[in-house]
Amino acid sequence: MNLLIDLTLLIGILAIAFTCIVSRSLFRSVVFFILLGLMLAIGWIRLGAPDIALAEAAIGAGITGVLLLDTLGHLKKTGNLENDEPAPSRKRLVLAIVSSFTLVGLLLWAVFNQPTPAINIHLLVTEAMPESGVSHPITAVLLNFRSYDTLLEVGVLVLAVLVGLALQTDQQAQDSLPGLPNPLLHACLTLLIPAMLITSMYLLWAGSDRPGGAFQAGAMLAAAFILLHISGIKLSSQVSHRMMQAGLLLGFGVFLAVATSSLIGGRPLLAYPEGGAGMLILLIELALTLSIGLILLSLFTIANSPPHQTYQGGDHGH
């Protein structure tokens, strides 16, 4: 039975992915990509990874999908119909087929010759769990055992926004999807947004012992923000630029502060004080949730503002 589900999923996922890739319509591709994300979420559950499933649904399918759709809309609005573009040349086709078959062949060869790993890392995890300050192993890994990775990862997110901001003007961003003056939607939103916020908080809270955590919660928060944004309620116009930036950096800043404080406290970087792990992790997660929400929102908003200036020779100033 399980095997059947798995195989169905396998075929489904691959079929959707295939359609997504080969479809002549870009819109269809994007839609199929979102669909794929949802299918994958089911797959992740099948793999025993509900955390990833949540993240995939919220971030992989949700946020990415919205971003893609938004961009697509932007492209469409300015009249670039992707159907006009000629099909790629045969040379590309051949190259692509050869290369992808190589890759698949190699991977299959590797997969079917898997040796038994010498190290069972889950044993180490189980062993270290009591000291982690949380009971959910994934959160433990993310925010304690390998918190350094997470710190850098948040850095990546911040950096993405930073680059976006650096490319942005100071002018108010013009929206690709104009605000919807639909009263029905407005009514829906008034219901939906609080629900999303609560879900987000729940996910954050759940993270310590159940699937969920800052990323999923942040994604949910971002979804709420984006909905608001689309419906014309712009966060950036509600709060000052400085506040916005502070919010973006809050998670990273708190994380870094905690890390540095441990350093000043005579412990290695990111090592929590004894007994304080749970609290600090919660603090970090809280800050991260807010920041991730804002970051994802910013990523959504900054993409569609005109460039601020063009390069003219050596840009030289004192």
Partner 1 sequence: MDTNLIFTLCGVGLCGLGFFGFIYHRHLLRRLIAFNLIGNGTFLVMVGFAQRGQGVTDHVIQALVLTGIVVAVAATALGLVLIRRWFQLKGSTQLPEDDAS
Partner 2 sequence: MISQGLLFLTPLFPMMLAILACFKTFKKNAGIFAAIAVLPAFLLSLLNLGQLEITYLSMPAVLLGSVWHTHPTGMTFLLFTSVLWFFSALYGIGYTKSDDKAQRFWILWLLTLSGNLGLLVSADIISFYGFFALMTFAGYGLVIHTGKELALRAGRIYLIMAVIGEMLILTALFLGSAATGHTSILAQDIAAAIPESNQINLLLFCLFFGFGVKAGIPLMHLWLPLAHPVAPTPASAVLSGAMIKAGLFAWISLLPLGYMHSSGWGILLIIFGFVASFGGGLVGMLQLAPKAVLAYSSISQMGLMTVTIGCLFLKPELTPLVIPVLAFFALHHALSKGALFLSVGINSQYRSIPIVLFVLGMLLPALSLVGIAGSGIQAKLLLKEGLYALYLPGIVMSITLSALATTGLMYRFLWLLRQERRESLQASPADHWMQLSWAGLLICGFLAPLLFSGNLETKSVLQQPIEYLGLLWVPVIASVFAFWFISQPLRASVPQGDLIVLIEPWFSVKEASADKKEDKNEQKVQPSLLNWVDKDQQPTPSAALEIFSRSQVAALLGVILLLANLMLWIN
Partner 3 sequence: MNMILSPIPWLLVIPLAGATLTMLLPYHWRSAASVVGIFTQLMASVILWYQVTHYGPQFYAMADWQAPLGISLRADGLATLFVLMSSLVASACAFYAHHYLSLHKRANFWPLLWFLWASLNGIWLAADTFNLYVGLELLTFAAVGLVAFASDERSLEASIRYLYAALLGSMAYLLGVALLYGAQGTLAMDSLAETWQWGPTTQVAVTLILGGLLLKTAVFPLHTWLPPAHGGALTPVSALLSALVIKASFYILLRFWIEFQIYQFLPSLSQLLGALGAGAILWGGWMALRQTHLKMVVAYSTVAQIGYMTLMFPLLVAENSEASMLAYQGGILMLLAHAFAKAGMFLAAGNLIFCTGKPDLVSLAGMSRYRPLNIFAFGLAGVSLMGLPPSGGFNAKWMLLQSSFMSGQWWWIVVLLLGSLLSAAYIFRVFAYTYQETDALDTYKRPRLSLELIALSLSGISILLGFASLWPLEMISLPGPVMEALP
Q: Which of residues 223-282 bind partner 1 (CB under 8 A)?
A: none
Q: Does 146 bind partner 1 (CB under 8 A)?
A: yes
Q: Which residue has the tokens 């406290």?
A: 265
Q: Does 73 bind partner 1 (CB under 8 A)?
A: no
What is the rounded CA–CA span in Å between residue 259 and residue 274?
A: 14
Q: Which stretch binds partner 3 (CB under 8 A): 3-11, 138-146, 172-180, 297-305?
A: 138-146
- In whole angstroms, how close is the CB of 219 to partner 1 at the nearest point? 9
Residues 238-267 that bind partner 3 (CB under 8 A): 245-246, 249, 252-253, 256, 259-260, 263-264, 266-267
- In whole angstroms, how close is the CB of 205 to partner 3 at the nearest point? 23
Which ranges in the chain belong to alpha helices (H)? 2-22, 26-46, 50-55, 64-77, 90-112, 121-132, 137-140, 147-167, 183-206, 214-230, 235-238, 241-264, 277-302
Q: Does 47 bind partner 3 (CB under 8 A)?
A: no
Nearer to partner 1, 45 or 185 (CB): 45
Residues 99-118 that bind partner 2 (CB under 8 A): 99-100, 102-103, 106
What is the rounded CA–CA span in Å between residue 288 and residue 298?
A: 15
How many beta carbons lie within 10 A of that of residue 73, not counting itself? 16
Residue 20's binding partner among partner 1, partner 2, partner 3, none (Cβ under 5 to 8 angstroms by kind) is partner 1
**Cα 130 to the center of its chain, rounded Å:** 29
281 neighbors 272 (Cβ within 8 angstroms): yes
In angstroms, the first-to-last Cα distance of the chain is 71
What is the rounded CA–CA span in Å between residue 62 and residue 44?
A: 15
Residues 271-300 that bind partner 3 (CB under 8 A): 271-272
- In whole angstroms, how close is the CB of 98 to partner 2 at the nearest point? 7
**Site for partner 2 (CB under 8 A): which residue of 15, 81, 95, 187?**
95
**Site for partner 1 (CB under 8 A): which residue of 1, 35, 83, 114?**
114
Q: Which amino acid is at 285?
A: E
What is the rounded CA–CA span in Å between residue 64 and residue 223?
A: 11
Q: Does 269 bind partner 3 (CB under 8 A)?
A: yes
Q: Does 106 bind partner 3 (CB under 8 A)?
A: yes
**Site for partner 2, rule CB under 8 A:** 92, 95-96, 98-100, 102-103, 106
